[in-house]
């Protein structure tokens, strides 16, 4: 009987609190810590689900929709360095989801549910129409934080750059007011060096603390390289080279 296909009262629904409670019990059995429900991650899961149904693209790489989990997290205002998602067509309640995807699952994917690095979870049940047929997809997204790792040589290069800037800036500052130094060029040089120092200090502090660099940080690295070329050329000009 298809008359109840779109009858909400007949569809299983996932009780979020119950699911997280059941999942955390399973995680505890497998030596993993608790995860917490996150509404931003739920929004991310909802956005992913809508894209999946819109483009009929159930791939994790979002090869057709071009809208993977990384983008949905960003649009939902959520960020983390480590994440995973499960795409489940159909309707489930909390018990059924645990039974089918944890208790009965014998694939390697099952291990991901018990990953100790995960801290947050969000779930969305998204309904839509695919090929003229009403359907639903359940998106479960989990995420956690892993500290960044940087090449020691790269970290040292930022440390050396910062030390060098701290050494040369005072000597140029002393040249303020000197008649034989073009003061306009000197002012420009100092502006460049101050900005370089700010960038180098910020990047070094983040890399030493194993924090992830943001897009703004990476943009500032590109800016630093351009500033360094200009300041090198201007310093040579002021030195008569």
pLDDT of amino acid 80:
96
Structure tokens at 111: 């291990």
CB 89 within 8 A of CB 135: yes
Those residues with Cβ within 8 angstroms of residue 1's Cβ, 6 or more apart along the chain or in another chain: none
Q: Is the pLDDT of residue 4 over 50?
A: no
pLDDT of amino acid 237:
94
pLDDT of amino acid 5:
52
pLDDT tens per residue, range 142-169: 999 999 999 999 999 999 999 999 999 9
pLDDT tens per residue, range 196-235: 999 999 999 999 999 999 999 999 999 999 999 999 999 9
Q: Is the pLDDT of residue 104 over 90?
A: no
pLDDT of amino acid 7:
63
CB 72 within 8 A of CB 51: yes
Q: Is the pLDDT of residue 171 over 80?
A: yes
Average pLDDT over residues 2-17: 74
Quote the percentage of the chain above a pLDDT of 90.
Answer: 87
The fold adopted by the segment(s) 8-144 is Pathogenesis-related Protein p14a (3.40.33)
Residue carrying structure tokens 């020691």:
152
pLDDT tens per residue, range 50-65: 999 999 999 999 999 9
pLDDT of amino acid 110:
81
- The mean pLDDT value of the chain amounts to 94
pLDDT tens per residue, range 225-241: 999 999 999 999 999 87
pLDDT of amino acid 53:
97
Cβ burial of 226 (10 Å; 0-12, 13-18, 19+) is exposed
Cβ burial of 11 (10 Å; 0-12, 13-18, 19+) is middle
pLDDT tens per residue, range 110-132: 889 999 999 999 999 999 988 88
Q: Is the pLDDT of residue 2 over 60?
A: no
Q: Is the pLDDT of residue 3 over 60?
A: no
Q: What sign does the dihedral 157-158-163-164 (CA atoms) show?
A: positive
CA 175 to chain centroid? 45
């Amino acid at each position: 009987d298809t008359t109840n296909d779109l009858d909400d009262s007949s569809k299983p629904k996932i009780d979020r609190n119950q699911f997280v409670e059941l999942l955390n019990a399973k995680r505890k059995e497998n030596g993993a810590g608790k995860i917490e429900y996150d509404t931003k991650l739920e929004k991310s899961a909802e956005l992913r689900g809508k894209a999946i149904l819109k483009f009929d693209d159930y791939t994790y790489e979002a090869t057709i929709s071009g809208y993977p989990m990384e983008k949905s997290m960003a649009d939902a205002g959520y960020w983390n360095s480590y994440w995973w998602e499960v795409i489940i067509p159909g309707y489930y309640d909390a018990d059924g989801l645990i039974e089918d995807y944890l208790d009965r699952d014998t694939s390697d994917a099952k291990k991901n549910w018990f990953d100790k690095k995960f801290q947050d979870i969000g779930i969305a049940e998204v309904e839509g129409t695919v090929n003229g047929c009403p359907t639903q997809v359940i998106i479960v997204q989990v995420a956690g934080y892993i500290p960044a790792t940087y090449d020691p040589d790269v970290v040292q290069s930022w440390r050396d750059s910062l030390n060098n800037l701290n050494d040369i800036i005072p000597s140029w500052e002393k040249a303020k007011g000197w008649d034989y130094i073009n003061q306009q060029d000197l002012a420009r040089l100092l502006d460049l060096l101050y900005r370089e120092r700010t960038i180098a200090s910020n990047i070094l502090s983040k890399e030493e603390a194993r924090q992830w660099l943001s897009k703004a940080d990476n943009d500032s690295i590109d800016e630093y390289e351009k500033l360094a070329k200009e300041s090198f050329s201007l310093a040579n000009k002021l030195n008569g080279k």
